[in-house]
């Protein structure tokens, strides 16, 4: 039997009740940047939510792009997720170990290729632990399946799209910390210049989450955060961040508000900040 899709965000209680459902595939999509010194796959092998598999965003990626975790083409994406045991009857629930950091990119990737039966575990692993959810080191590999994509949505922005938007004053929202956005803090990506895309606004992704539970804030609080950023969410938006991960949290929050006219700039600052042919604004 197929699950009734509960929406893009599910609670720890919901997942507890559906942990053993046949059509559910739980994925640990944790990404740790090199400067953290942490190994996401090793942490998964040590402890994870039962029946979950590891969704390696570095593997489900374009192998020909020198930047990490960039969007694979449709054929490669379908092959990769099919090999993970996901087909078009699977409800994917993604989580990560910080609470919500990289899991939203899984939701966006599937959405890009026309598949909507994907949810984010609200609060991720920290909230799951707080709710005394089960944990295990036992692996639950899945048999490969066939996954098909029937369409590609227009929710991906490339460098040329962003340059055009910046030049014309279209709305661009950056999810990085205020210090990195302003250029007052060193950037996390070696070789990237300090600052931000000209005429862009800033909304630090963490401000959309409860400081303790790491759950998404209520809708009225999310709306307040976007309003305070100075962005107009009733027009088309380009969402950017450091490397295309946390911009997806902005997209998830906008989706919760019923706003769907946005694109993720996949290259983000890791690409823009290194390209000295592109303009930069900063306080320095």
pLDDT for the residue numbered 1? 43
On whether both 172 and 219 belong to a single domain, the answer is yes
Q: What is the pLDDT of residues 141-165, one digit of tens each?
A: 999 999 999 999 999 999 999 999 9
Distance CA 212, CA 202 (A): 22
Residues 228-236, mean pLDDT to the nearest whole number: 96
State pLDDT tens for residues 254-275.
999 999 999 999 999 999 999 9
Flag whether pLDDT at 167 surpasses 90.
yes
pTM of the model: 0.96
Q: What is the pLDDT of residues 39-49, one digit of tens each?
A: 999 999 999 99
**pLDDT on residue 169:** 87
Provide, for the chain, the percentages of residues in helix, strand and coil under a 3-state DSSP scheme, each rounded to the nearest 5. 30, 15, 55
pLDDT of residue 3: 66
Residue 107 lies in a domain: yes
Residues 240 and 161 in one domain: yes
What pLDDT, in 10s, does the model give residues 9-34?
Answer: 999 999 999 999 999 999 999 999 98
- Residue 226: give its domain's CATH number: 3.40.250.10
Catalytic positions: 241
Determine the structural domain holding residue 18 and report its residue range. Answer: 9-130
d(CA 191, CA 275) in angstroms, rounded, equals 9
Residues 116, 171, single domain; the answer is no
CA distance 3 to 268: 35
- What does pLDDT average to over the chain? 96
Same domain? For 40 and 115 the reply is yes
Q: How many domains does the chain have?
A: 2
Secondary structure (3-state) at 264: strand
DSSP string for 115-151: ---EEEETTHHHHHHHTT---B---------------
Q: What is the pLDDT of residue 2?
A: 53
Q: In the numeric block, which tokens belong to residue 220?
A: 């009225």
């Amino acid at each position: 039997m197929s699950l009734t899709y509960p929406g893009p965000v599910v609670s720890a209680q919901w997942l507890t009740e559906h942990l053993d459902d046949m059509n559910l595939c739980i994925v640990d999509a944790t990404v740790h940047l090199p400067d953290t010194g942490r190994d996401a796959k090793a942490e998964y092998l040590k402890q994870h939510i039962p029946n979950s598999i590891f969704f390696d965003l570095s593997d489900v990626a374009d192998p020909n792009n020198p930047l990490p975790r960039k969007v694979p083409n449709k054929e490669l994406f379908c092959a990769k997720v099919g090999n993970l045991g996901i087909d078009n009857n699977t409800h994917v629930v993604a989580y990560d170990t910080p609470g919500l950091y990289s899991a939203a990119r899984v939701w966006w990737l599937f959405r890009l290729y026309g598949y909507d039966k994907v949810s984010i575990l609200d609060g991720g692993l920290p909230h799951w632990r707080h709710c005394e959810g089960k944990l295990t080191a036992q692996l639950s590999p899945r048999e490969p399946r066939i996954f098909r994509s029937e369409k590609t949505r227009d929710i991906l922005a490339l460098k040329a799209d962003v340059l055009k938007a910046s030049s014309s004053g279209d709305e661009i929202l950056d999810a990085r910390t205020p210090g990195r956005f302003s250029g007052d803090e060193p950037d996390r990506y070696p070789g990237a210049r300090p600052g931000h895309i000209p005429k862009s606004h800033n909304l630090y992704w963490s401000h959309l989450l409860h400081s303790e539970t790491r759950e998404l804030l209520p809708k009225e609080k999310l709306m307040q955060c976007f309003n305070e950023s100075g962005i107009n969410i009733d027009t088309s938006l380009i969402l950017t961040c450091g490397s295309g991960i946390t911009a997806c949290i902005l997209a998830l929050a906008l989706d919760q508000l019923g706003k769907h006219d946005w694109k993720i700039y996949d290259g983000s600052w890791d690409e823009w900040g290194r390209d000295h042919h592109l303009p930069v604004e900063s306080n320095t």
